A and B are shown apart, each in its own frame.
Chain A
Amino acid sequence: MTTVRKDTYRWSARGFIAPGVLLVAVLLYLPLLWTTYLSFTEYNGLGDPDWVGFSNYIDMWRDPAMVGSVLNTLMWVVGTLLIPVGLGLLLAVLTFDLKGGVWLRLPFLIPYAVSGIGVGLVWSFVLQSNGALDQALAVFGVTDPPRWLLDVPLNTLVMICAAAWQGVGVNALLFTIGLQSIPKEPLEAARLDGAGPLRLFGSIMWPMLAPLTTVVVGLSIVGSLKTFDIVMGMTKGGPGRQSETLAVTMYRDAFVNANYGSGSAIAVFLMIVTLLASLLYLRRQLSAKHEF
């Protein structure tokens, strides 16, 4: 009976999955393969790509701008783990079981819905020379403020702070939902036994948050590897190419300099790193769902 039924729906099932498979295959996977192919060629968009083997990958590392870009991207990964994820956890724990916690979290949530370009626009305004921040500092007697967006590595650090401004709220929201799913009894019991807040956090909240933390950390790493719009909005990778991230370097190589081959090589490198980082949290998700 069941096998007959399975066969009955075989064609119908294919019909229902076909639109999704077609869209994804043609617009995502096909370009993906083409980029991989292009990364082994020299190509400026005119004529045909010339096969050059691994030379794009080798040349990539001879370019000092590329090395700087990798280091900046690394700074983004570490920075967005420490600041938005760390502060998000702190905010969630501090507002947890607090009356009006929802309202106290609200100011931190607003920037999340602002686009990267919007965040970049606001912060370039705040950080420009003699801008809002410098004016505020002048009130406190700081007459010679740093050149926020012009000096390396300060410019990358302040952009990470701008990204943190955007990201803290949503991380706090995710951690709050995690905290709310922790059963109340062990917390109450530990409290009655005289456990202090730090003890409560270390022995109960933190271990129970572990699965969610994996997801948040994974999302944060994967997201920061692709950092593009905040940098484009604030420094465009400058001055020179000193604050570029891998995503910006790829864009510049491919679309500004029309080096499709080397742009593709950077994209492939970025993809491999992203996939490795994704494994951190995808492995858990996919293995738990393997039920067919």
Chain B
Amino acid sequence: MVSRIIRTIVLAIAGIVWLAPVYLLIVNAAKAPSAYNPRESWVPDGGALLENFAEAIRLSGLGDSVVSTLIYATVAPGVAVIVGASAGFAIVALRLKHGFWWFVFLFGGSIFPLQMIILPLFDGYSRTGLYDERIGMILIYTAISVPFSAFVMRNFFTGVSYNTFEAAVIDGANTWRIFTRMYLPMSASALVAIFILQATFIWNDLLLGLTLSQSDEVRPIVTTLAGMQNTYGGAQLPTVLAAGIIVSLPTVILFLFTQRFFARGLALGQY
């Protein structure tokens, strides 16, 4: 009993220490740039948080980036879950010939580091006019999300009885109908889990944004933040920190609401 109380106290203190950087981030992002004193990081001073948000958005084209990133983080994983589910459906329900090896081929796409593909992508995108275009970013984000999606969906469909499929066939449904009316709806929870996980990875991506885009309208938000950090410093620091909050808040909120999905997804062997 005593040990439990001690454990709780120790953990609570550790938790507070763990949040100290978050406290510093918020407190300093709320200071008016004119009143900002780098020697008083721990002292809260002022409520200029909203002004700093506005300034961060104005200064950096962050508004355009937010819109682009929202598109990337919804369209790409949205397409990827359907493509992955359709691959899983082909392998499990339609019993595709050499299905396991096609599965290994798809899943293999997630094993090697992104560094292996960025150079040819940069080169190829420049030649085909996809460089610094939203469609180019959506394409690559979709492609990197497919392997994990196929992995989870194949596992999921393996747990679905084959009788379900046979019964639908006897009722005269074609494969397209069976996929869209039966297999997709019944896998809603798995699809959502993959979607959330991939959306967060895309939201937080730096490398692809850095190499495949340039303009404010196309650049993903994290890349824009990295650029701001290089360009502005000193007196602008509260603004940059405010930008950091804008960039981080959506994924933090999403993550806290959907922890279970994350844990399951990660345990399945993502990256």
Contacts and interface: CB of A to CB of B under 8 A. Distances in A.
Interface string B142-178: 1110110010000100100000000000000001000
Given A116-B206, A117-B222, A292-B100, A174 B117 contact: no
B104 interface: yes
Contacts of B18: 107-108, 111, 165, 168
Given A20-B106, A226-B114, A271-B116, A135 B94 contact: no
Interface string A1-45: 000001001101111110111011011111110110010000001
Contact of B39 (A34, A111, A135): A135
Given A38-B119, A122-B24, A212 B241 contact: no
Given A233-B229, A263-B119, A125 B102 contact: no
A114 interface: yes
A24 B146 contact: yes
B147 to A, nearest CB: 7
Interface string A154-193: 0000000000010010100110010000000000000000
Nearest to B15: A107
Interface in B113-131: 113-124
Interface stretch (B44-52, B60-68, B247-255): B247-255
Nearest to B200: A113
A21 B89 CA distance: 14
Contact of A23 (B146, B158, B225): B146
Given A16-B94, A109-B256, A121-B225, A247 B100 contact: no
Interface of A is mostly: helix
A20 B150 contact: yes
A117 B225 contact: yes
A61 interface: no
A162 B242 CA distance: 20
Contacts of B71: none
Contact of A267 (B38, B115, B124, B254): B115
Contact of B267 (A95, A177, A225): A177
B24 A106 contact: no
Contacts of B146: 20, 23-24
Interface string A138-163: 00000000000000000000000000
Contacts of A104: 8, 11-12, 15
B119 A112 contact: no
Interface string A117-134: 110111111101011100
B89 A125 contact: no
B91 A123 contact: no
B252 A114 contact: yes
Contacts of B193: none
Contact of B15 (A27, A98, A106, A120): A106
Contacts of A110: 19, 22, 252, 256
Contacts of B240: 121
A23 B15 contact: no
B16 to A, nearest CB: 7
A31 B21 CA distance: 39
A165 B267 CA distance: 20
A66 interface: no
A117 B116 contact: no
Given A108-B18, A132-B24, A174-B267, A24 B106 contact: yes
Contacts of B144: 27-28
A118 B243 CA distance: 9
Given A108-B18, A115-B251, A177 B263 contact: yes
Nearest to B253: A113
Contact of B248 (A29, A114, A229, A275): A114
B99 interface: yes
Contacts of B28: 125
Interface in A250-292: 250-251, 254-255, 260, 263-264, 266-268, 270-271, 274-275, 278, 281-282, 285-286, 289-292
Given A104-B8, A113-B248, A281-B269, A27 B100 contact: no
28 contacts: A13-B94, A15-B90, A16-B90, A17-B87, A24-B147, A27-B139, A28-B144, A31-B119, A35-B120, A94-B11, A99-B4, A110-B252, A113-B256, A114-B204, A115-B206, A115-B247, A117-B226, A117-B229, A121-B241, A123-B21, A125-B237, A212-B267, A225-B113, A233-B226, A267-B116, A270-B116, A271-B112, A285-B269
Interface of A: 6, 9-10, 12-17, 19-21, 23-24, 26-32, 34-35, 38, 45, 91, 94-95, 98-100, 104, 106-118, 120-126, 128, 130-132, 135-136, 165, 168, 170, 173-174, 177, 197, 212, 215, 218-219, 222-223, 225-226, 228-229, 232-233, 247, 250-251, 254-255, 260, 263-264, 266-268, 270-271, 274-275, 278, 281-282, 285-286, 289-292
Given A21-B106, A31-B117, 19 more contacts: A16-B89, A31-B121, A38-B119, A45-B123, A94-B7, A98-B11, A104-B8, A106-B256, A111-B21, A113-B254, A114-B204, A115-B204, A118-B247, A126-B21, A126-B41, A168-B18, A219-B269, A229-B206, A251-B210
